[in-house]
């Protein structure tokens, strides 16, 4: 099977063109090891385009490009035609359509879509927060979190924290273990920020056994036994009752589904809070 080669050309990073090329290539090569991607980023000179077209001819590559300047797009198209190289312009046709609809000329300044804004910084800050306060590493994070997840081991606390962080929420998660006293911070914050994650003993038993095997250990350790799991769940129920927070059964839920439940509950609480404030 012949190898499929792409030259990704961009006046910015080139991520968009590479993703589109991979999506198209996957329809012909399910094994992406048979697909080669060479990225040419931050291309600003026409002389570079001529060299890229020549290299593409030598290697039998398809050129896929995202160039915002019309003169650069025209130049690369011409170079590829001269070298009999297939080339695909991803931005040009869309920009021309927008130009036609708005009757406005594009700015043609590379990299605008990647400019850092407040929304970007909030997302990065939330992701860093989730990492820093993962698995109860520092209980002080509970006081500054938008959302606090509480649960016993293997109830998806970490992946759920990361998913919510990508939605720009600062999330701390706290594991509950019968032998360890929960951090006092859990009892001093608004319980509407806290979400307890519970799971059926049978499903957790299976998950923990798989975890032990993945670590190269025997699956009959106390950690995976039903009686140990039930003991942990009983401890979880006592702590959650004391906190007075919402409990979500994650037994048959994907991370995205659990996140939607949390965000829906959080929105409901925020709306109720606003209504109360308006009536004061």
CA 72 to chain centre: 33
Residue 32: pLDDT above 90?
A: no
Residue 277: exposure state from Cβ atoms within 10 A (0-12, 13-18, ≥19):
exposed
Residue 21: pLDDT above 90?
A: yes
What pLDDT band is residue 271 in, cutting at 50, 70 and 90?
A: confident
CA distances, 18 to each of 84, 97, 115, 162, 280 (Å): 22, 22, 19, 25, 55
Q: What pLDDT is attached to residue 112?
A: 79
Q: Is 97 annotated as a binding residue?
A: no
Sequence-ordered list of residues with C-beta below 8 angstroms from that of 52, at least 6 positions apart, any chain: 7, 9, 40, 43, 63, 76, 79
* CATH 3.40.50-classified regions of the chain: 4-114, 118-278
Residue 184: pLDDT above 70?
A: yes
Residue 82: pLDDT above 80?
A: yes
Q: What pLDDT is attached to residue 117?
A: 64
Q: What pLDDT is attached to residue 51?
A: 95
Q: Is 94 annotated as a binding residue?
A: no
Q: What is the largest CA-CA distance in the chain?
A: 75
Q: What pLDDT is attached to residue 120?
A: 80
Residue 15: pLDDT above 90?
A: no
What pLDDT band is residue 114 in, cutting at 50, 70 and 90?
A: low
Q: What pLDDT is attached to residue 121?
A: 84
Q: Is 152 annotated as a binding residue?
A: yes
Q: Across residues 173-198, what is the average pLDDT? A: 96
Residue 98: pLDDT above 80?
A: yes
Q: Is 273 annotated as a binding residue?
A: no
Q: What pLDDT is attached to residue 31?
A: 81
Q: Across residues 3-31, what is the average pLDDT? A: 92
Residue 270: pLDDT above 90?
A: no
Q: Across residues 220-241, what is the average pLDDT? A: 95
Q: Is 157 annotated as a binding residue?
A: yes
DSSP, res 87: E
Q: What pLDDT is attached to residue 119?
A: 75
| Residue percentage of the chain with pLDDT more than 90 | 81
Q: Across residues 82-107, what is the average pLDDT? A: 96
> What's the CATH code, domain 4-114?
3.40.50
Q: What pLDDT is attached to residue 102?
A: 95
Beta bridge partners of 35: 4
Q: Is 268 annotated as a binding residue?
A: no
Q: What pLDDT is attached to residue 116?
A: 58
Residue 183: pLDDT above 80?
A: yes
Q: Is 77 annotated as a binding residue?
A: no
Q: Across residues 149-156, what is the average pLDDT? A: 96
Q: Is 155 annotated as a binding residue?
A: yes
CATH class of 118-278: alpha beta
């Amino acid at each position: 099977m012949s190898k499929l080669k792409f030259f990704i050309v961009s006046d910015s990073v080139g991520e968009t063109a590479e993703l589109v090329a991979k999506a198209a290539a996957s329809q012909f090569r399910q094994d992406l090891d048979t697909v080669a991607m060479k990225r040419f980023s931050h291309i600003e000179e026409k002389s570079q385009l001529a060299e890229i077209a020549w290299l593409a001819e030598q290697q039998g590559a398809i050129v896929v490009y995202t160039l915002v300047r019309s003169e650069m797009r025209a130049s690369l198209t011409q170079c590829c035609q001269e070298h009999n190289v297939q080339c695909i312009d991803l931005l040009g046709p869309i920009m021309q359509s927008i130009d036609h609809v708005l009757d406005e000329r594009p700015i043609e300044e590379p990299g605008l879509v990647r400019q850092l804004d407040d929304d970007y910084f909030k997302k990065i800050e939330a992701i860093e927060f989730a990492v820093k306060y993962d698995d109860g590493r520092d209980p002080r994070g509970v006081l500054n979190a938008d959302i606090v997840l509480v649960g016993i081991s293997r109830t998806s606390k970490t992946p759920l924290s990361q998913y919510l962080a990508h939605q720009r929420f600062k999330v701390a998660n706290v594991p509950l273990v019968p032998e360890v006293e929960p951090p006092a911070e859990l009892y001093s914050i608004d319980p509407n920020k806290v979400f307890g994650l519970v799971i059926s003993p049978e499903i957790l038993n299976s998950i923990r056994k798989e975890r032990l095997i993945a670590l190269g250990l025997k699956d009959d350790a106390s950690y995976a036994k039903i009686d140990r799991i039930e003991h942990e769940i009983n401890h979880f129920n006592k702590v959650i009752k004391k906190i007075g927070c919402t409990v979500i059964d994650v037994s048959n839920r994907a991370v995205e589904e659990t996140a939607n439940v949390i965000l829906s509950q959080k929105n409901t609480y925020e709306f109720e809070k606003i209504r109360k404030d308006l009536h004061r």
